[in-house]
Amino acid sequence: MSQLSYRRALTQAIDEEMARDAGVFLIGEDVADSGGAFGLTRGLLAKYGEMRVRDTPISEEAIVGLGIGAAALGLRPIVEIMFMDFIFLAMDQIANHAAKMRYMYGGQVHIPLVVRTLSGGGFRAGMHHSQSLESVFGHIPGLKVVMPSDAYEAKGLLKSSIRDPDPVIFMEQKSLLGAKVEVPDNDYLIPLGVAKVRRTGSDVTIVAIGIMVSHTLQAAEELAQEGIEAEVVDARTAMPIDSDTILNSVKKTNRLVVAHEAPAPFGFGAEIAALAAEKALYYLDAPVIRVTSKFTPIPVGRSEDYILPGKKDIVEAVHRAIKGG
């Protein structure tokens, strides 16, 4: 057990899985020689060689397609898309092929593909380097979507994603790269589709995902000082959704706030609010509140701070939820 950054936890997860399974390989732009645009894959080329760690041209569609084909035929590819915003270039391969291939071939193949990609704000690099697109992928049957909220989660979830038989969109939270927590040096897995109660509380449930989990935990501390005890659920995966854990918490606290970095319409919060309205309506004592980015593209520079949600927004949302609307 040692303090490890999110960045290094990711490297460690890939490293361990590559050591464990000779079918795991990694391709992407600048992942090999230079160890990744953000150093996430440093050292892997030297350790595993050119067949298993490969730089690619800028051809998002082809490299994801290659990954799908290789996955269908028995390997375990990890394809890096440098920024999630560029994943749209591979959208047909992901949404029409990775997601549907197992189904359309009647179960003849698995697609144990991981598409790793940096998502969210934090680099202040604007609309083409900052998006969080979990709900776009969560809507497509056949895909799983993972958003680790700290280094511990990152390692355990990435290892599970690599071993998973289904295609996983793995969203690495840009603004967490440097953040450290205790991370076991050994092998451990965190199952996909199981949310985690990060803090118990009785007054309100806050379901958060990705980077919003840390903001939420901080908000919860602040709220506790006012005497409001929030239960914080880290959803971990946007698909599958662990509705049991979420609904049980809502049934206990009778209030629900959902926090994510993507914009509200058709977002993760919509789905969670809908779940509650469908399956826990009679338990809700107050309107469900969504804490999200504003419904705009993400501007460059410090302007992003205004558009993206933060601790303050969560605190305010809880106040509204407690007041009842």
Partner 1 sequence: MSEIHTIDEQMLVAFYRNLYFARRFEETLADMFRRGEIDGWLHSGIGQELVGVILGVTLQAHDYIVPYHRSKATFLARGVPPRALIAEILGRQSGICGGVGGEAHAADVSHGIFGSTGVIGAALPLALGAAFVQLYRHTDGIAVCGFGDGATTQGSFHESMNLAALWNLPIVFICENNLYSEMTPLSKEMKETRIAKKAEAYGMPGIAVDGYDLDATYTVLQEAIARARENQGPSLIEVKTYRWHGHYEGDPEEYRDKNEVEAWRARDPLPLLRARVHDQGILDSQQLLDLEKNFEDLLSEAVAFAKASPYPTPENLLSNVYATNTSA
Ligand X SMILES: Cc1ncc(C[n+]2csc(CCOP(=O)(O)OP(=O)(O)O)c2C)c(N)n1
Q: Which of residues 173-232 bind a copy of itself (CB under 8 A)?
A: none
User: Which backbone phi and psi does 109 adopt, to 5 degrees?
Assistant: -130, 155
29 binds ligand X (CB under 6 A): yes
Nearest 5°: phi and psi at 263?
-65, 165
Q: Residue with the closest Cβ to ligand X?
A: 86
CB of 289 to a copy of itself, least distance (A): 7
Find tokens 């915003």 and name the residue: 85
Q: Bridge partners of 115?
A: 79, 169
19 binds partner 1 (CB under 8 A): no
- Binding of residue 102 to partner 1 (CB under 8 A): yes
Name which of 104 and 274 has its Cβ closer to ligand X.
Answer: 104
Taking CB under 8 A as the rule, does residue 141 contact partner 1?
yes
Can you tell me the distance from the alpha carbon of 138 to that of 55, in angstroms, rounded to the nearest whole number? 28
Closer CB to ligand X, residue 45 or residue 217? 45
- Preceding peptide of 240 cis, ω within 30°: yes
Among 282, 301, 302, 323, binds a copy of itself (CB under 8 A): 282
Q: Rounded to the nearest 5°, which phi and psi values hold at 233? A: -110, 120
Which among 262, 93, 81, 233 is positioned nearest to 172, based on CA atoms?
81
Q: How far is the CB of 106 from partner 1 (least distance, A)?
A: 3
Reported residue count of the chain is 325
The only residue of 287, 300, 310, 319 in contact with partner 1, by rule CB under 8 A? 300
- Of residues 76 through 95, those in contact with a copy of itself by CB under 8 A are 85-86, 88-89, 91-92, 95
Q: How many CA atoms lie within 13 A of 91 on its CB side?
A: 12
Catalytic residue IDs: 129
Question: What is the spatial distance between Cα 25 and Cα 21, in angstroms, rounded to a whole number?
Answer: 9
- Please identify which residue in 18, 71, 72, 82 interacts with ligand X, judged by CB under 6 A: 82
Q: Which does 281 bind (CB under 5 to 8 A by kind): ligand X, partner 1, a copy of itself, none?
A: a copy of itself
CB nearer to ligand X: pick between 82 and 145: 82
User: Interface with a copy of itself includes 251 (CB under 8 A)?
Assistant: no
Does 91 bind partner 1 (CB under 8 A)? Our answer is: no
Q: Write phi, then psi, for 238 (nearest 5 degrees).
A: -80, -20
* Residues 135, 238: Cα–Cα separation, whole Å: 7
Neighbours of 229 (CB within 10 A): 15
Toward partner 1, which CB reaches closer, 178 or 184? Answer: 178
Where does this chain touch partner 1 (CB under 8 A) — which range of 6-14, 122-130, 246-254, 278-286? 122-130
CA distance 312 to 7: 26
* CA atoms of 146 and 168, how far apart (whole Å): 7
State the residues that interact with a copy of itself by CB under 8 A.
85-86, 88-89, 91-92, 95-96, 99-100, 103-104, 126-128, 135-136, 138-139, 141-142, 239, 241, 262-271, 273-274, 276-279, 281-282, 284, 286-290, 295-297, 299, 325
